């Protein structure tokens, strides 16, 4: 064993696969994207790359559509953290305290996660269908709330909230599962000691359970942030960024710019912004949660 | 999320491919390889016996014209045993666009391919992606059979690139399809010829309880198509071309009026409630089931009607989009969409000859006759007529197409900005949801100004 550790060839051989994968499938694409974001190229093999400096960034940050997509994604991140992590962990706590039918609840909340995005989009398209054929409008009609009926996904003020609801519905099971895994790891003796000391009900959850599963909450928040910043499929299928750009997020704009408008430099600039935003928000949230934990 | 990863990787690899191909293209410029294709997916085998060419259209998988293309390829290969045609067609739009653009970006342009649009091909023409087909037009036996002026649509001279680039394989007039049974029930005895008559028709249909005009504008092209028709009938096809060459602005009062008239149709209750969120499939099934009385669509809808199990399938008819009584000068400025093929400009020698041979075969009289008679799709040639036993609606359409004098495609076809298609269609939906026609026009003009500024 010691011989292996001292053999440099073995060390290189063991590290090489991971190193090559990370280098060629993560580092090179990221660095190439940053490189291309400073160039203009119309998507034609024979057309040369033209260095344009910061122009692509200037262009996207002057573009109202892109700025709106940034606002959209930030509110998307905020509500998703609340919805997916907050609600997901709350559900986990509830299931944890339920003694019967636990498997059923787990399966129910996890089910949407295994559905393909296309199926999720279709299900919700029919739920939100703009006429009385839509489940939501049909129920409102049945309740006599005609005035509340909407063409939900083409209502500028409602389309984005619905996208957030749909994503939350799809992903909540994942965070419930993480929460349940964290809760199942709690030592019984600590919980019993807390109970003897008088920590029951909300006090027990707030002062004992949450601090003990805080690391799982932190990683969940980071996963939600990075996941939402990359979200593409549901929006692409359900609204294609509409109505009139109201549900665009940077990822859907990236696709449009690069693959539909042949603006590969602009698309790369948006990809770089998503990358930087993802790192910044993740670090920021970890920092905030670290201070919270200290205070707690 | 996974999709984004794929998109991101694809983006990077396309870009990486670009860098690689650049160096390749420099050397290509100086060396012409007879009998081979440079930077194309076509090739000739080592023995020089079998030539491979590729074709990429939207007639793939489940498309009604997929069997047509396969049939043509089979016949062509039987007649030309030394040529193999690889069919790379994909019917789904986004996948098709991605595949084609990736092919062009990596220098693997298909020998023959479909692409919608006119001004959008300027960069491809400039950079040698497309073949200038002007010399092919000298083959009068083949080219004389095309509808007059067909090749002029892709004459890029007005965009600063000399040459003709597209070969049309079909034209699709856009008309109002209607259900005569529903019209009769609503007491409509005369088909509307002017817009005022159309408004009266809408009122009567509304009163009878049906959806007067079915629109599934969730698929934004449906709204874009209605605007095309209003635009051409109100200010003419030339105005669209002038918008593309920047001689005209979207904020000009006459253009703004085209939006106002569209919005007015909504206010009159022409469309079903919430039509902005209804998809095209629902629109189509509403029409086929008699829930809506009319739809505006291209001639391709005929094959959908014929293939349907609608109880009205033999009764459906169409009438031309009404004109404005005070604008008789634009009465014949009509929407005519085209199916067009482009030939890769990167081929040489035997491969290039094979691709030209196949395009002429595919767009020739015999194959276009097959497409019309067996598949119900309109030709791009005047020497092809519907047979006597063809469905009446198809015969009427062939006859109507011959009467169109001043055709125009989608308005955005004439604009060099590839993003304008979405800007126009999204802005129209924005208008239907509350924006004014003026705001709509300003939104589009702003996008054009930004594009021009960026292009320098």
CA atoms within 13 A on the CB side of B116: 18
As for the ipTM of the complex, it is: 0.71
Interatomic CA distance for residues A184 and B7, integer angstroms: 38
* pLDDT in the model for residue B9: 42
| Chain mean pLDDT for chain B | 87
User: Which residue of chain B comes nearest to A230, CA vs CA?
Assistant: B1
Please determine, for residue B19, whether its predicted confidence score (pLDDT) is greater than 50. Answer: no
- A241-275 pLDDT per residue, tens: 878 888 999 999 999 888 888 889 999 999 999 99
Strand bridging mode B406-408 / B112-114: unpaired
Confidence of residue B43 (pLDDT cuts 50, 70, 90): low
pLDDT at residue number B352? 95
User: Which chain A residues are Cβ-neighbours of B220 within 8 angstroms?
Assistant: 240, 242
Q: What is the mean pLDDT of residues A197-201?
A: 78
pLDDT at B407: 87
Answer whether B76's CB lies under 8 Å from B53's CB.
no
Q: What is the pTM of this model?
A: 0.80
pLDDT over threshold 60, residue A295: no
**Mutation choice for B interface testing from A34, A39, A45 by most B CBs within 10 A:** A45
Flag if B97 and A36 touch (Cβ within 8 Å).
Answer: no
Residue A145 has a pLDDT of 86
Which percentage of chain B shows pLDDT scores above 90? 62
The string of pLDDT tens digits covering residues A6-27 is: 788 888 998 999 999 999 998 9
Q: Which tens digit of pLDDT belongs to each residue from B235-257? A: 999 999 999 989 999 999 999 99
Distance of CA B411 to CAs A106, B231, B242, B408, Å?
53, 9, 10, 8
Q: How buried is B210 (Cβ within 10 angstroms: 0-12 exposed, 13-18 middle, 19+ buried)?
A: buried
Instruction: Tokens 């670009």: give the residue.
Output: B18
| Domain B36-172+338-408 and domain B174-336+411-455 have a common topology | yes
Contact A137, A129 (CB under 8 A): yes
* Cα nearest neighbour of B217 on chain A: A154
Which residues in chain B have Cβ-Cβ distances shorter than 8 Å to A128? 277
Tell me what pLDDT residue A294 has: 45
What's the DSSP call for residue B262? H
State the CATH architecture for B36-172+338-408.
Answer: 3-Layer(aba) Sandwich (3.40)
Q: Which fold has domain B174-336+411-455?
A: D-Maltodextrin-Binding Protein; domain 2 (3.40.190)
What local confidence, expressed as pLDDT, does residue A187 receive?
86
Question: Which of B392, B251, B240 has the alpha carbon at shortest distance from B316?
Answer: B392
Q: Dihedrals φ, ψ of A92, to 5°?
A: -60, -45
- Which residues numbered 139-178 in A keep a CB inside 8 Å of some CB on B? 151-156
Bridge partner residues of B213 (DSSP)? B271, B294
The percent of residues above 90 in pLDDT, for chain A, comes to 39
CA separation for the pair A261, B191 (Å, rounded) = 41
pLDDT at B17 over 80: no
Q: Does domain A65-295 have CATH number 1.10.3720.10?
A: yes
Work out whether the CA dihedral B126, B131, B136, B142 comes out positive or negative. Answer: negative
Mean residue pLDDT of chain A comes to 87
CB pairs under 8 A between A and B: 163
pLDDT in tens, B308-360: 999 999 999 999 999 999 999 999 899 999 889 999 999 989 999 999 999 99
CB contact under 8 Å between A151 and B422, yes or no, is no
What pLDDT is recorded for position B369?
A: 92
**What mean pLDDT do residues B272-292 have?**
93
The domain locations on chain B are 36-172+338-408, 174-336+411-455
Mind listing the pLDDT tens digit for each residue in B73-125?
Answer: 999 999 999 999 999 999 888 889 889 988 998 899 999 999 988 888 888 99
Residue A296's pLDDT band (boundaries 50, 70, 90)?
very low
Query: If you write DSSP's letter for every residue of B229-256 in order, what string do you get?
Result: HHHHHHH-HHHHHHHHTTSS-TTSHHHH
* Pairwise pLDDT comparison (A147 vs B272), residue with the higher score: B272
Number of H helices, E strands in chain A: 17, 2
Residues of B in contact with A251 (CB under 8 A): 4, 7
Give the model's pLDDT for residue B2: 44
Q: Is the pLDDT of residue B40 over 70?
A: no
**In the predicted model, is pLDDT for residue B164 greater than 90?**
yes
Q: For residue B4, name the pLDDT band (cuts at 50, 70, 90).
A: very low
Q: Does the CB of A242 have a partner CB in chain B at under 8 Å?
A: yes
> For residues B266 and B432, is the Cβ–Cβ distance under 8 A?
yes
A264/B15 Cβ within 8 A: yes
Look at residue A100 in the predicted model and tell me its pLDDT: 81
What are the pLDDT digits (tens) for B366-375?
999 999 988 8
Chain A residues whose CB is inside 8 A of the B129 CB are 44, 46
For residues A295 and B165, the model is more confident at B165
Kindly tell me if the per-residue pLDDT of B11 is higher than 70: no
Interacting residues of A248 by C-beta distance below 8 A, sequence separation 6+: A65, A68, A69, A72, A235, A241
CA distance B418 to chain A (A): 5
pLDDT for A150 equals: 80
Contact A261 B419 (CB under 8 A): yes
Nearest CA in chain B to A157: B433
* pLDDT tens per residue across span B374-418: 888 899 988 888 888 888 999 999 989 888 888 888 999 999 888
Q: What are the residue boundaries of the structural domains of chain A, listed by start? A: 65-295
Nearest Cα of chain B lies from the Cα of A240 at a distance, in angstroms, of: 9
Contact A264 B454 (CB under 8 A): no
Q: Is A260 in Cβ contact with B419 (below 8 Å)?
A: yes
**Are B211 and B291 contacting, i.e. CB atoms less than 8 angstroms apart?**
yes
Inform me whether the pLDDT recorded for B67 exceeds 90: yes
Residue B16 reports pLDDT greater than 50? no
CA separation for the pair A44, B22 (Å, rounded): 9
Half-sphere exposure of A288 (CA within 13 A, CB side): 11
Strands B166-178 and B292-298 turn out to be antiparallel
Q: Across the interface, do B9 and A242 touch by the CB < 8 Å criterion?
A: no
How close A90 gets to chain B, by Cα (Å)?
Answer: 25
User: Is residue B3 pLDDT above 70, yes or no?
Assistant: no
Identify the DSSP state of B333: E
Q: Which of A242, A245, A268 sits opposite B11 (nearest CB)?
A: A268
Report, in angstroms and rounded to the nearest whole number, the Rg of chain A calculated over CA atoms: 24
Query: How far apart are the C-alpha atoms of B4 and B10, rounded to whole Å?
Result: 10
């Amino acid at each position: 064993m010691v011989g292996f550790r001292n053999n440099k060839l073995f060390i290189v051989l063991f590290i090489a696969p991971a190193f090559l994968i990370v280098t060629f499938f993560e580092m090179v694409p990221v660095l190439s994207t940053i490189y291309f974001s400073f160039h203009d190229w119309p998507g034609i093999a024979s057309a040369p790359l033209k260095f344009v400096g910061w122009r692509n960034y200037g262009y996207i940050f002057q573009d109202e559509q892109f700025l709106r997509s940034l606002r959209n994604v930030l509110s998307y991140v905020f509500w998703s953290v609340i919805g997916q992590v907050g609600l997901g962990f709350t559900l986990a706590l509830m299931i944890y305290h339920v003694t019967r039918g636990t498997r059923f609840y787990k399966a129910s909340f996890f089910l949407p996660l295994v559905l393909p995005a296309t199926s999720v989009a279709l299900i919700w398209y029919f739920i939100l269908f703009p006429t009385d054929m839509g489940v939501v409008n049909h129920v409102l009609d049945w309740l006599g709330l005609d005035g509340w009926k909407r063409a939900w996904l083409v209502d500028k003020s409602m389309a984005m909230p619905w996208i957030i609801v749909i994503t939350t519905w799809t992903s909540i099971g994942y965070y419930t599962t993480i929460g349940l895994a964290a809760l199942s790891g709690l030592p019984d003796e600590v919980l019993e000691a807390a109970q003897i000391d008088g920590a029951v009900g909300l006090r027990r959850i707030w002062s004992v359970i949450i601090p003990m599963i805080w690391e799982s909450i932190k990683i969940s928040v980071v996963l939600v942030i990075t996941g939402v910043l990359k979200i593409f499929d549901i929006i692409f299928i359900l609204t294609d960024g509409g109505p009139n750009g109201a549900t665009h997020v940077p990822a859907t704009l990236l696709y449009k710019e690069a693959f539909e408008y042949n603006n590969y430099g602009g698309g790369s600039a948006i990809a770089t912004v998503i990358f930087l935003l993802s790192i910044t928000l993740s670090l920021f949230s970890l920092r905030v949660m670290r201070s919270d934990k200290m205070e707690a | 999320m996974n999709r984004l990863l794929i998109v991101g990787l694809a983006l990077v690899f396309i870009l990486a491919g670009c860098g690689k191909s650049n160096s390749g293209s420099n050397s290509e410029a100086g060396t012409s390889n007879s009998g081979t294709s440079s930077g194309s997916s076509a090739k000739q085998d080592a023995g020089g016996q079998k030539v491979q060419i590729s074709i990429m259209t939207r007639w793939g998988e489940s498309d009604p014209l997929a069997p047509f293309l396969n049939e043509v390829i089979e016949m062509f290969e039987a007649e030309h045993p030394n040529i193999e045609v690889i069919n790379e067609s994909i019917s789904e739009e986004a996948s098709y666009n991605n595949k084609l653009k990736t092919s062009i970006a990596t220098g693997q342009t298909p020998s023959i391919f479909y692409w919608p649009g006119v001004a959008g091909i300027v960069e491809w023409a400039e950079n040698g992606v497309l073949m200038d087909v002007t010399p092919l037009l000298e083959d009068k036996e083949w080219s004389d059979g095309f509808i007059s002026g067909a090749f002029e649509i892709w004459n890029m001279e007005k965009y600063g690139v000399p040459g003709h680039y597209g070969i049309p394989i079909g034209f699709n007039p856009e008309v109002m399809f209607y259900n005569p049974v529903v019209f009769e029930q609503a007491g409509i005895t005369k088909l509307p010829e002017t817009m005022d008559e159309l408004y009266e028709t809408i009122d009567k249909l509304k009163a009878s309880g049906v959806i007067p005009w079915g629109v599934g504008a969730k698929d934004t092209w449906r709204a874009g198509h209605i605007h095309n028709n209003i635009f051409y009938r109100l200010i003419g096809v030339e105005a669209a071309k002038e918008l593309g060459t920047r001689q005209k602005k979207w904020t000009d009062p006459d253009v703004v009026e085209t939006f106002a008239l569209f919005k007015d149709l909504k206010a009159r209750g022409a469309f079903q409630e919430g039509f902005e969120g209804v998809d095209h499939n629902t629109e189509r099934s509403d029409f086929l089931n008699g829930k809506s009385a009319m739809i505006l669509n291209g001639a391709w809808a005929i094959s959908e009607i014929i293939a349907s199990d609608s109880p009205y399938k033999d009764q459906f008819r169409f009438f031309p989009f009404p004109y404005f009584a005070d604008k008789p000068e634009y009465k014949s400025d009509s929407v005519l969409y085209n199916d067009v093929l482009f030939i890769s400009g990167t081929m040489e020698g035997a491969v290039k000859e094979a691709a030209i041979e196949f395009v002429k075969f595919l767009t020739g009289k015999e194959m276009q006759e097959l497409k019309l008679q067996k598949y119900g799709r309109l030709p791009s040639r005047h020497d092809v007529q519907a047979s006597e036993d063809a469905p009446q609606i198809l015969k009427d359409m062939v006859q109507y197409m011959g009467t169109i004098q001043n055709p125009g495609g989608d308005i955005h076809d004439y604009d060099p900005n590839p993003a304008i298609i979405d800007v126009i269609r999204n802005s129209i939906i924005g208008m239907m949801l509350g924006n004014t026609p003026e705001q709509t026009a300003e939104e589009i003009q702003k996008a054009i100004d930004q594009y021009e500024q960026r292009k320098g």
